[in-house]
Amino acid sequence: MERAWRSFRRRSLSKEDAPRSPSRYAHSPKFLKRPEAMTKSSLFLAAALVALPAFASAQAPKVSPAVRAVHDAAIVLDTHFDTPALFSRPGWDIADRHAVDKDGSQVDLPRMIDGGVDGGFFAIYTPQGPRTKAGDDAARAAALVRAVEIREMLVKHADKFELATTADDAARIVKKGKRFAYMSIENAYPLAGDPGMLDTFYALGVRLVGFAHFKNNDFADSATDKPEWGGLSPKGKDLLAEMNRLGVVPDPSHSSDQVLEQVIELSKTPVILSHSGVRAVFDHPRNAPDALLKKLAEKGGVIQINAFSAYMIAPPPPNPERDKALGGLMAKFGARNKMTEAQVVQLVAERRALLAKYPVPRAGIDDLMAHLLYALKLVGPDHVGISGDFDGGGGVDGYDSIIDPPSVTERLLKAGYSKDDIAKIWGGNVLRVLRETEAYVASQKAAAPPAPAVSH
């Protein structure tokens, strides 16, 4: 398997096919001046304002042994880790212990162990760029680079992590004492030039794909852009059909309400919102309305509640002096992935000092629980889960890294949810959707007519 993987890497990526990965240009001043990146840049600034808590504990939350036993009995997963963006950062390693208040990162193996987190979906994120052949080619190459970085992490730490591609893989890998890693795509932009590339990414391990991000693309309307297609484009509907054929779970997070509704209606398999919130709790286009959440649940789908402050509380009022200072700080240090760990630590410390001078509101774990408990009451524990959106701007006070999930388990128990409910919320629901998706693919293969015999 290892030899085949390295062979694929050599065949797939030449130097010409491997431009800078998304993390290397998404934060650069040149990229952020492009019109198609402006929504992303404004949200990066918002994330910079709220990303750092006043104090982030390096210790796991103190919960009772009974709470911890309930937590540890579940297969605990998160459906959206943006952590692969850190894999190319010099000196950063997922096997080492990090801290939010030191280098800003939120996911690593020691904290997964402390937080009782068994695995999750590691995202291949590509920011939306020009919808041209050159743009499509660059997006495809960048996504392949990111996929390679995920697979190489798994090879490097094969004694600690293992690729998961089926629902049953999660329990199997956990029994071996390792963490499981599913792969996902956030923003289908890399598939725009050649939708057939979905087969390639599926072969690499991708089992969850999001249609759009902050801007519209050739497949779908974004929740944070002006309507263009009225939901899915014809190309987007074809992509959904391919997802169903292969066994890839559709993810309408970041897509418009019309996209969500159409995906629910058209998909042959259940749908997962990998990191979204509840609009009835906080009115934001990234949060889903009750009517669509009910439709999602009726078709067996799941919403993974997102711990993202900007989607939970009102943004801070404009402050030109603060924004200028933050912009100057980012310009001073440049792209994060090119910094040494020492430089990143210095950046985080200086940014913390700036935010102490210009304090801004930040959502907390009570806001996260408000979304979670509302969704649970609305559609029931068979259709709700949790995602921190960690290392992608997510995190709130009290739930700011992968060390913190036991705090949510404690609150769910206090709210009256059972051990079985909590096991569904933390991972069982997502694994059920994966299992149902696999069953659909198997049923279609069984129903297909046999291939005609080849005459000799």
| Residue given tokens 């509302």 in the structure block | 374
Q: What is the pLDDT of residues 285-331, one digit of tens each?
A: 999 999 999 999 999 999 999 999 999 999 888 899 998 998 899 88
Residue 250 binned pLDDT confidence (cut-offs 50, 70, 90)? very high
What does the pLDDT average to over 341-357?
Answer: 90
Helix (H, G, I), strand (E, B) or coil at 301: coil
End-to-end Cα separation, the chain, in angstroms: 34
The pLDDT of residue 26 is 33
Contacts of 455 (CB under 8 A, 6+ apart): none
The pLDDT of residue 338 is 76
Fold of the 2-51+76-445 domain: TIM Barrel (3.20.20)
Is residue 281 scored above 60 in pLDDT? yes
Show the tokens assigned to 158.
């094969």
The pLDDT of residue 74 is 98
Q: Read off the pTM.
A: 0.89
CA angle 26, 32, 38 (to 5 degrees): 110
Residue 168 binned pLDDT confidence (cut-offs 50, 70, 90)? very high
The pLDDT of residue 456 is 62
Beta bridge partners of 255: 222
Alpha-carbon torsion 359, 365, 366, 371, what sign? positive
Strand pairing of 302-306 and 272-278? parallel
The pLDDT of residue 340 is 83
Is residue 55 scored above 50 in pLDDT? no
What does the pLDDT average to over 225-235?
Answer: 98
DSSP letter string over 336-375? GGGS-HHHHHHHHHHHHHHHHHS-----BHHHHHHHHHHH
Residue 58 binned pLDDT confidence (cut-offs 50, 70, 90)? low
Domain ranges of the chain: 2-51+76-445
Residue 4 binned pLDDT confidence (cut-offs 50, 70, 90)? very low
Summary mean pLDDT of the chain: 89
Show the tokens assigned to 239.
């992509």
What does the pLDDT average to over 22-51?
Answer: 38
The pLDDT of residue 455 is 65
Pure H helices in 205-289: 234-246, 257-266
The pLDDT of residue 449 is 85
Residue 163 binned pLDDT confidence (cut-offs 50, 70, 90)? very high
Amino acid occupying residue 405? P
The pLDDT of residue 333 is 86
Lowest mean pLDDT: which of 15-24, 180-189, 291-300, 324-333? Answer: 15-24
Q: Which of 34, 32, 37, 51 is closest to 392 using CA atoms?
A: 51
What does the pLDDT average to over 148-153?
Answer: 98
Show the tokens assigned to 240.
């959904």
Alpha-carbon torsion 323, 327, 333, 339, what sign? positive
The pLDDT of residue 33 is 31
Alpha-carbon gap, residue 396 to 390, rounded angstroms = 10
Residue 20 binned pLDDT confidence (cut-offs 50, 70, 90)? very low
Alpha-carbon gap, residue 424 to 297, rounded angstroms = 14
Q: By the 8 A CB rule, do 304 and 273 touch?
A: yes
Is residue 337 scored above 90 in pLDDT? no
Lowest mean pLDDT: which of 95-99, 221-225, 345-349? Answer: 345-349
Alpha-carbon gap, residue 249 to 203, rounded angstroms = 14
CB half-sphere exposure, 179, CA atoms < 13 A? 28
Residue 85 binned pLDDT confidence (cut-offs 50, 70, 90)? very high
Amino acid occupying residue 238? D
